[in-house]
């Protein structure tokens, strides 16, 4: 019988991020990087107690950025006398910054629905391995101060293309899919060799070699408008950290583009945008936001309604204004439409 150790099954990205958030919520004093990598679901499977965890540490650095981009207020705490020491630095998510606002109230019926949803989330989303990871954390002497189910996570639904792309990535399979770029009326079929799935600014991106130009390209999953189909072709693996390449490229683009917005203090927009971009001053009214695509940012900012006013650049101002004008026009059209009973009376 072979003594070779079987490679651990990959843990889905969202499960790893979810487990990381759970772990960082469960402590007041914070966790060191070594404690996280050796105990949290998604890291511990790859962790080596003898060292050689450089790639795992890079993954953790990307995951920190991902959860911050989702609006989670991740804090770093330096130990006294050890400034800048990444090994002794501790990480946590402060309870007060991630709880429901004190002025939020629910009716009994709403509470019943929330209780049901929480039960489904706890039993369906938190796997047995994640629960065992929490048990390991408790073995370190870290106990939650209150049930984690009382917190209010921001849940997102992954795009339908995520699972088939993730499977193609694991199998090194070339795939094709219809992709609709902003300003175009019809999608174009792109044939690619998937290299990495990464999250940036709260959205999933595919980093892949575009077979048409034989160069790496980054695709936003929300713009994949049809099924992802394998072509039957495969491609060889390599040792390059493609996820890091993808994140570096996305950051270069977003760092070259800035939006200036004014937010109303104390609102959902101030909290979410402030947490995402590291602004701790809750009374600050103007934020500078790096962005990849003004179409995507316009969709998000328009969703905050009067809580946000866009000041610059002009293209973003116009894009947000057009979205809000479209909402007003559609509401007016609905209000002006004849009531079904009036139509029936003729």
Q: State how far the Cα of 20 lies from the Cα of 15, in Å rounded to an integer.
A: 9
pLDDT of residue 8: 62
The domains of the chain, with CATH numbers, are 13-150 (no CATH), 162-250 (2.30.30), 257-336 (no CATH)
pTM attached to this predicted model:
0.54
pLDDT of residue 181: 87
Q: Do residues 189 and 162 make contact, with C-beta atoms less than 8 angstroms apart?
A: no
Closest CA to 133 of 27, 10, 37: 37
Rounded average pLDDT over 111-133:
51
Model confidence at 277, pLDDT cuts 50, 70, 90, reads: low
> Coil, strand, or helix at residue 91?
strand
| Residue 199, H or E segment | strand 188-200
Radius of gyration for the alpha carbons in the chain, expressed in angstroms and rounded: 23
pLDDT of residue 314: 94
Rounded average pLDDT over 311-317:
93
| Residue 33, H or E segment | helix 33-39
Q: State how far the Cα of 231 lies from the Cα of 174, in Å rounded to an integer.
A: 6
* pLDDT tens figures, 208-218: 999 999 999 99
Q: Do residues 178 and 187 make contact, with C-beta atoms less than 8 angstroms apart?
A: yes
* pLDDT tens figures, 203-249: 889 999 999 999 999 999 989 999 999 999 999 988 888 988 999 99
Closest CA to 300 of 287, 243, 329, 191: 287
Rounded average pLDDT over 66-85:
78
Structure tokens at 306: 């009067």
pLDDT of residue 237: 84
């Amino acid at each position: 019988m072979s003594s070779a150790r079987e490679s651990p099954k990959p843990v889905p990205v969202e499960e790893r991020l979810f487990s990381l958030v759970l772990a960082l919520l469960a402590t007041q004093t914070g966790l060191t990087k070594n404690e996280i990598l050796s105990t949290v679901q998604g890291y511990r499977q790859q962790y080596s107690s003898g060292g050689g965890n450089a790639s795992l540490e890079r993954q953790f650095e990307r995951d920190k950025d991902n959860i911050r981009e989702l609006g989670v207020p991740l804090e770093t705490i330096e130990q006294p006398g050890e400034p800048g020491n990444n090994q002794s630095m501790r990480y946590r998510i402060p309870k007060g910054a991630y709880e429901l606002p004190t002025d939020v109230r629910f009716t009994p019926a709403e509470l019943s629905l929330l209780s049901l949803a929480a039960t489904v989330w706890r039993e369906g989303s938190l796997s047995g391995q994640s629960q065992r990871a929490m048990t390991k954390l408790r073995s370190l002497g870290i106990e939650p101060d209150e049930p984690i189910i009382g917190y209010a996570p921001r849940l997102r639904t992954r795009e339908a293309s995520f699972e088939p792309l993730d499977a193609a990535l694991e199998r090194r399979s070339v795939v094709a899919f219809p992709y609709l770029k902003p300003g175009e009326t019809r999608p174009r079929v792109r044939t690619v060799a998937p290299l990495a799935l990464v999250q940036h600014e709260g959205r999933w991106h595919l980093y892949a070699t575009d077979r048409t130009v034989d160069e790496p390209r980054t695709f936003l999953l929300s713009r994949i408008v049809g099924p992802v189909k394998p072509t039957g072709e495969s491609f060889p693996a390599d040792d390059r950290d493609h996820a890091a390449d993808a994140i570096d490229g996305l950051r270069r683009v977003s760092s070259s583009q800035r939006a200036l917005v004014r937010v109303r203090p104390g609102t959902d927009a101030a909290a979410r945008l402030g947490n995402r971009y590291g602004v701790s001053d809750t009374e600050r009214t103007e934020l500078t936001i790096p962005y990849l695509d003004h179409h995507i940012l316009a969709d998000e900012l328009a969703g905050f309604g009067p809580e946000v006013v866009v000041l610059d650049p002009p293209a973003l101002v116009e894009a947000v204004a057009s979205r809000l004008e479209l909402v007003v026009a559609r509401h007016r059209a609905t209000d002006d439409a004849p009531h079904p009973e009036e139509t029936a009376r003729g």
